[in-house]
Amino acid sequence: MKQEEQGDRNMSDNKKKKVFQIHVNESLPTVFVDNLMITTRTDSLYLVRFTTSLPEGLKEQCRMMIPKESMRGMLDVLCKQCDYFPSKPKQNAKTKTKTK
């Protein structure tokens, strides 16, 4: 009887979880990039460009518009995947604002 109850509980838990399926675009090429450029906009969007360094100069490979909150989530994933957690740069003594 306990196994049936456990099975019912697992099924109800699975119904609560949303599982997203990735629809792969087979015609989309995989490209090599070695540069990332990010432009901050005033409308909470970022313009993100991936480029490749060539002897002739930089070749743009991909350009995307990403909302601020999505960008933060993506950066979290990248940092966790690379096991790299940068710290915020310390403010220069001249640029610090004094508060009383």
- Range with the poorest average pLDDT among 5-9, 13-17, 20-24: 5-9
The one-letter amino acid code at 54 reads L
- Please state the rounded mean pLDDT for residues 90-94: 73
Q: Which domain holds residue 79?
A: 30-84
Q: Name the domain count of the chain.
A: 1
pLDDT at position 98, please? Answer: 54
Average pLDDT across the chain, whole number: 85
The separation between CA 64 and the C-alpha centre of its own chain, rounded to angstroms, equals 12
Does residue 78 sit within a domain? yes
High-pLDDT (> 90) share of the chain, % = 65
Report if residue 55 sits inside a domain.
yes
Q: Is residue 19 part of a domain?
A: no
| pTM to 2 decimal places | 0.64
Residue 44 lies in a domain: yes
Is-contact 65 45, C-beta < 8 A?
Answer: yes
User: What is the residue type of 37?
Assistant: M
CA distance 1 to 9: 13
Asked if residue 53 is part of any domain, the answer here is yes
CB atoms within 10 A of CB 42: 5
Mean pLDDT of 89-96: 70
Q: Does the residue 74 lie in any domain?
A: yes
Indicate whether 51 belongs to any domain: yes
